[in-house]
């Protein structure tokens, strides 16, 4: 069910582009909410679980995740956090490179989901991925269409992106190393770094001139409150 949820959410969200288009106010709301929800899940759910393992160099792996996300954005142009870049015809970004960047990102996120890692932390991780995949999927479809792909080919590319988290999950499930718990703790630390970069980028870039008005503040607060509720539910 977790894997199917990751897959179907991307396809449904990407299809929204045909209903709402790339309307800036709508996208800003989705981005702001997903960014605050994601950072709430990170700090109130995933970080305590990872640091509770008391493994050395966890902070190094968090920074590694942050750096990995920086590198991926050189390829994907920031599509992982719903940032739409519109280029002139002479400055087109290859849709294939865009797809490649977000697929690596998605694969890493999905890696711990079907593992023996704690059930509560996996549920929180899935919810975090699902929520922030909504604006990503809409943005990706918009970019694929903008770069000249047909609707059919754009949907095929989106489907490839949709299966990457499930593929990562399946690959993670077959790790039987005696240090499995240590491996997945470090993978989760990398995911924390990725999520921190994405969520902070979303919160800054979804605001004009990096300023926050009352609507943005309320949206962020709603995302944080919901993430707190989710983390508490899965701790019961």
pLDDT at residue 22 tops 90: no
Helix axes 95-110, 180-205, angle to 10 degrees: 130
- Apex 234 CA angle, 61 and 118, nearest 5: 45
For CA atoms 185, 187, 193, 195, the dihedral sign is negative
- State the pLDDT at residue 157: 92
Mean per-residue pLDDT, 208-224: 78
Closest CA to 81 of 128, 25, 126: 128
Tell me the two tokens of residue 89: 């015809």
What is the overall mean pLDDT for the chain? 80
User: Is 175 in contact with 115 (CB distance < 8 Å)?
Assistant: yes
Per-residue pLDDT reduced to its tens digit, 95-114: 778 888 888 888 888 887 76
- State the pLDDT at residue 172: 78
Per-residue pLDDT reduced to its tens digit, 161-194: 999 988 988 887 777 565 777 888 888 899 899 8
- Assess if residue 36 is contained within a domain: no
- Assess if residue 29 is contained within a domain: no
d(CA 66, CA 61): 9
- Assess if residue 215 is contained within a domain: yes
- Assess if residue 158 is contained within a domain: yes
pLDDT at residue 88 tops 50: no
d(CA 189, CA 128): 15
Mean per-residue pLDDT, 122-145: 83
User: Is 81 in contact with 201 (CB distance < 8 Å)?
Assistant: yes
- Assess if residue 189 is contained within a domain: yes
pLDDT at residue 81 tops 70: no
- State the pLDDT at residue 15: 86
Q: Where are the beta strands (DSSP E) in the chain?
A: none
Cβ-Cβ contacts under 8 Å for 231 (sequence gap 6 or more): 40, 41, 44, 45, 124
d(CA 147, CA 93): 8
pLDDT at residue 217 tops 70: yes
- Assess if residue 28 is contained within a domain: no
Q: Give the length of the chain.
A: 236
- Assess if residue 92 is contained within a domain: yes
Per-residue pLDDT reduced to its tens digit, 153-164: 999 999 999 999
Closest CA to 104 of 80, 122, 82: 80
Residue 103 has phi, psi (to 5 degrees) of -70, -40
- State the pLDDT at residue 159: 94
36-40, 57-61, 204-208, 209-213 — which one is most confidently predicted on average?
A: 57-61
Domain extent at residue 182 = 2-19+44-233
pLDDT at residue 21 tops 50: yes
Q: Could you give the number of structural domains in the chain?
A: 1
Closest CA to 162 of 128, 125, 137: 137
- Assess if residue 9 is contained within a domain: yes
């Amino acid at each position: 069910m977790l894997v199917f949820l990751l897959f179907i959410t991307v396809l449904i969200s990407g299809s929204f582009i045909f209903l709402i288009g790339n309307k800036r106010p709508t996208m800003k709301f989705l981005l702001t909410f997903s960014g605050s929800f994601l950072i709430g899940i990170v700090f109130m759910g995933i970080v305590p679980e990872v640091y509770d393992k008391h493994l050395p160099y966890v902070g190094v792996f968090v920074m590694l995740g942050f750096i990995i996300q920086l590198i991926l954005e050189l390829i994907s142009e920031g599509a992982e956090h719903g940032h739409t870049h519109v280029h002139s015809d002479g400055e087109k970004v290859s849709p294939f490179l865009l797809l490649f960047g977000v697929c690596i990102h998605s694969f890493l996120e999905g890696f711990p989901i079907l593992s023996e890692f704690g059930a509560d932390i996996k549920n929180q991780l899935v919810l975090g991925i699902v929520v922030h995949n909504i604006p990503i999927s809409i943005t990706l479809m918009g970019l694929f269409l903008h770069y000249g792909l047909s609707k059919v080919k754009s949907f095929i590319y989106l489907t490839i992106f949709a299966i990457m988290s499930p593929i990562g999950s399946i690959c993670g499930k077959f790790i039987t190393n005696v240090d499995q718990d240590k491996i997945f703790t470090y993978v989760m630390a990398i995911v924390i770094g990725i999520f921190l970069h994405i969520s902070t980028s979303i919160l800054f870039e979804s605001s004009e001139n990096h300023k926050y008005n009352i609507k943005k503040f309320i949206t962020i607060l709603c995302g944080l409150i919901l993430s707190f509720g989710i983390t508490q539910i899965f701790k019961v």
